[in-house]
A and B are shown apart, each in its own frame.
Chain A
Amino acid sequence: MKLLYFAWVRQKIGKSEETMPLPTGVSTLGELALHLRSLGPGYAEAFANLARLRAAANQVHAGFDAPIADGDEIAFFPPVTGG
């Protein structure tokens, strides 16, 4: 799957995108976020509080209970501030 990070999520992780296989035991956006939290200090900081994060699956806003599959484009980001 392709992972994209925006705004301070990107800054804390130190990269804007990466590709990885769907981790074993992960089937929702929330489970993926918890998995990513364990990958290192930057990830731990970015995913420390899921209430401050939003996500999208295949370029559509999605809740943390949304199912995901290998091959999806997943994005994590703060609440949007456009306009």
Chain B
Amino acid sequence: MRILIQHEPFDLVREMEELSREGVGAVATFIGHVRAEEGLEALIVEHYPGMTEREIARHAEEAARRWTLLGVTVIHRVGELKPGEPIVLAAVAAAHRGDAFAACEFLMDHVKTRATFWKQQRRPGQTVWLDANPADDERAERWK
């Protein structure tokens, strides 16, 4: 399990190499980007060091109980990010694609709703905190 919170961009080629091992037949990856919107200058992301990593690890362990997995990587960027930049990577390695796809979606639904990150949007003359999206909670509820 590889869980990183960092400002720096992630290196997708390197992360795929990290997940390659005997028996891997599928790697499902999700990459979230800062959505470019009218007037958006930057997204500013803060988190709760320690708890964030624990919370993601807890859900990665839960995923490993539900599905047969061979590796999990979650990298979430923090600090100031520009529109279009990658912000989060979730990658799951398994023998078969069914497990990899499902576990990757499970992980992202919980990164969205349980991992302790908060985003601000900076626009000309104002910076505002983003509100949580109830649709994200509904997606996470499906796994219960």
Q: Do A and B bind each other?
A: yes
Q: Is the CB of A61 within 8 A of B114?
A: yes
CB-CB under 8 A for A82 and B47, given A6-B118, A77-B116, A77-B118: yes
What CA separation (Å) do A56 and B51 show in the bound complex? 9
- The secondary structure that dominates the B interface is mixed
Interface string of A34-76 (1 = CB under 8 A from B): 0000000000000000000000100111000000000000010
Chain A: interface residue count, which band?
10 to 19
B111 and chain A: residue at smallest CB distance: A83
| Docked-complex contact A56 and B48, CB < 8 angstroms | yes
Could you tell me how many residues of chain B have their Cβ less than 8 Å away from some Cβ of chain A?
A: 30
B51 near A78 with CB under 8 A, answer no
Once the chains are docked, how many angstroms separate the CA of A7 from the CA of B2? 26
Query: Are A80 and B108 interface neighbours, CB within 8 A?
Result: no
B87-123 Cβ-contact flags toward A at 8 Å (1 or 0): 1100000000000000000001001111111111000
Closest 6 CB pairs of A and B: A82-B117, A79-B132, A7-B118, A59-B51, A83-B112, A81-B130
Q: Which residues of A contact B (CB under 8 A)?
A: 4, 6-8, 56, 59-61, 75, 77-83
